[in-house]
Structure 1
Amino acid sequence: MRIGVISDLHIDQRENSDLLYASYLAQLVKLAGQQQLDCLVIAGDISNDSQLTLKFISDLDSRLRCPIRFVAGNHDLWTLADKEKNTEQIAARLQADPRSLQNRPYVLNDEWAIIGHSGWYDYSFGNQFTTHEQFSQKQYNGRTWKDHLYIDWNMTDEEVVEQSLIQLQSDFEQIGDRQVILCLHMVATDAFIVPTPHPVFDYFNAFLGSKRYAEWIESRPSIRYILNGHVHYRKRFTKHEQTYICACLGNESEWQSSSLEKELQSAFQVIDLVDGLVL
């Protein structure tokens, strides 16, 4: 069984959006076919608009020969067109899609299942840089973390992380003794944060994820693969027989070439559950 992994497509970050939309669809369908996937998982940040994200997921699903599952990223939760932030409503709309992993574990077979959540951040990856109050402002050195502008959970960031862990535990308990692929948009390990010292990310690492996810994961050895996005890395490593994968396409300005096809091929990773390999 082969599980394809990609994250941070950001399909609306470039010009000629209609043409690019079709290109993203075509290239992902092509990759899924070439890799003979049994499931495609997208770990968030498909677009900056929940309606566009859901349309893309639906259109991709109708063209693929395998199932697709996803979690929302923080960009998918943004409110750009409306003056009022309505994050909880947007999150509910995304979670209601039958292909969303959040609140909806996906059983692959008797041995494997996928669970997922957007996740969130609690400043623990930046906790030695400044105070909690300064982190909560999400502004530093003339720069603003844009979640501050477009997202309002009506609770603290720490409370959002706590709620995500409660939901993940509930999903984890539903799948019995199966081995697990966990999909989180936010970073679950400090191995994926931006190395410090850094003139900006000494501060902004605080908004990449939470150390609490790694603590939760490491205490559950049946979680064998952990899929992350958000930070626009293309990395993987294994610790205690748990493999962490960051398979981000990212923004065009971060690419090594101008070719969407080449960059998708570079970012895309495949988990072969039969052979226990990541390709």
Structure 2
Amino acid sequence: MRIAILSDIHEGINRKNTKADIIELLKEWITDQSPDVFVISGDMTAGPEKSLPLLNQLQNHCPHTKVLYVHGNHDIYHEDSTIAYETLLQFPGNLGNGPVKLDDNWVIIGDGGWYDYTFGIAGFNEEQFRLGTFNQFTWPDKTYANWPNCDQDETERYLTKIEHWLKKFQGKNIIMVTHVVPFSQFLLCKGDPSWDFFNAMMGSSQFGELAIKYGVKKYIFGHIHTRYHEQYKGIEIICNPLGYYPHEWSFKTAKEEIFSTIRVIEI
């Protein structure tokens, strides 16, 4: 079984800046390569009213490939992020609806996840991370994501849900998917507080702890716009973002960048 992986597509801004039809290019790649599964680990675009139609369009055009998805932080930008979350559950391949059995041995489990400041650097307190402002820059989630509870409580909601599923499928080969980062190993620390401060909003070490506790075989995430494919603590780690044009791309055209970036694994 061939599983294709991509995250952080940011369709709106990349379409605007490249003048390319990002979704048509994804359709073209899927049609040409025919993976069994295509995993999008968050940030299709900004807001559920845009992300949901794009996901449906992609799945409807590629019926022989199962499109699976977890939301990213940008996908739930809305005046009520709980409504955004529930809206995105209308997509049949949203892993927030429950685990998906790939075959008799493999199951894929996940949800978007959130952050709880476990990756916060020393010298700052919880209130500073809650406000999310450093040097007059405010982390965009603090403006555009509107959850009813604090970040830690929202993170706990995801952890509880995912652990329930992990327990249910303990003993199977599990692929775990979140948008957020599960291990601090994969954060970029520059020694510059104006950058490192915002690592607090990258994820939670508790997702990584769950993966280890339940013997997860592969872990797919996004959020950070850095690509990884390596073994860590006995887990195959895959972070495979498209990222923003032009400064995070290696190629000048959207087709070259997308076609060269999509990662395929086999189980």
TM-score by length of 2: 0.93
Given candidates 181, 186, 192, the residue that maps to 1:187 is: 181
| C-alpha displacement of 1:104 | 1.4
Does the Cα contact within 8 Å between 1:138 and 1:148 map onto a contact in 2?
A: yes
Residue 260, structure 1, aligned to residue 254, structure 2: yes
Measure, in 1, the Cα distance between the counterparts of 2:102 and 2:39. Answer: 12
Worse overlay, 251-260 or 139-148? 251-260
Instruction: Output the CA distance in 1 between the equivalents of 2:91 and 2:58.
Output: 14
Q: Which runs of 5+ in 1 are unaligned?
A: 80-84, 274-279
Contact 1:227 1:244 in 2 (8 A): yes
Q: 1:239 aligns with which of 232, 235, 253?
A: 232
Partners of 2:236 and 2:229 lie apart in 1 by: 7
Change (3 A) 1:24 1:87: same
The alpha-carbon distance between structure 1 residues 32 and 15, as it changes in their structure 2 partners (threshold 3 A), is closer
Aligned partners of 1:234 and 1:267 also within 8 Å:
no
Match in the other structure for 2:72: 73
SS at match of 2:188: coil
Q: Note the alpha carbon deviations across 1:227-257, whole angstroms, 9 max, x for none.
A: 1111111112202331111100011132122
Tell me the distance in 1 between the aligned counterparts of 2:214 and 2:135.
39
1:173 maps to a residue whose letter is K
Q: For residues 196 and 93 of structure 2, what CA distance do their matches in structure 1 show?
A: 36
Distance 1:18 1:238, change over 3 A: closer
| Aligned residues of 2:166 and 2:214 also touching (Cα < 8 A) | no
Question: What are the superposed Cα offsets for residues 132-163 of structure 1, whole Å, 9 maximum, x if unpaired?
Answer: 11111110011010111111211111111111
Matched letter for residue 119 of structure 2: F
SS at match of 2:13: coil
SS across alignment from 1:54: helix
SS in 1 for 2:252: coil
SS, match of residue 126 in structure 1: coil
> Aligned-pair distance for 1:63?
1.4
| Aligned partner letter, 1:226 | Y
User: 1:13 and 1:183 mapped to 2: Cα distance?
Assistant: 24
Secondary structure of the residue that 2:114 maps to in structure 1?
coil
String of CA shifts for 1:188-227, please: whole Å, max 9, x gaps. Answer: 1112212231242220011000111111111111x11111
Counterpart secondary structure, 1:114: strand
Correspondences of 1:170-185 after superposition (within 5 Å): 170-175=164-169, 177-185=171-179
Partner of 1:171, secondary structure, is helix
C-alpha deviation, 1:267, in angstroms: 2.4
Is the partner of 1:124 in helix, strand or coil? Answer: coil
Q: Distance in 1 between matches of 2:31 and 2:92?
A: 22
What SS is found at the alignment partner of 1:102? Answer: helix
Kindly indicate whether the alpha-carbon contact (under 8 Å) linking 1:129 and 1:202 is maintained by their aligned counterparts in 2. Answer: no
Letter paired with 2:194: V
Shift of 1:116: 1.2
TM-score, normalised to structure 1's length? 0.89
Q: Is the 8 A contact 2:113 2:178 kept in 1?
A: yes
**Alignment counterpart, residue 33 of structure 2, candidates 17, 32, 35:** 35
Residue deviations 1:37-64, cap 9 Å, x none? 1100100100112121111111101111
AA aligned to 2:12 is D
1:51 alignment partner in structure 2? 49
AA aligned to 1:115 is I
Q: CA deviation at 1:34?
A: 4.0
- Name the SS for the 1:69 alignment partner: strand
Are the equivalent residues in 1 in contact too, given 2:170–2:214 (CA < 8 A)?
A: no
Gaps of 5+ in 2: none
Change (3 A) 1:159 1:26: same
Equivalent position amino acid for 2:190 in 1: T
Deviation at 1:176, TM superposition (A): 5.2
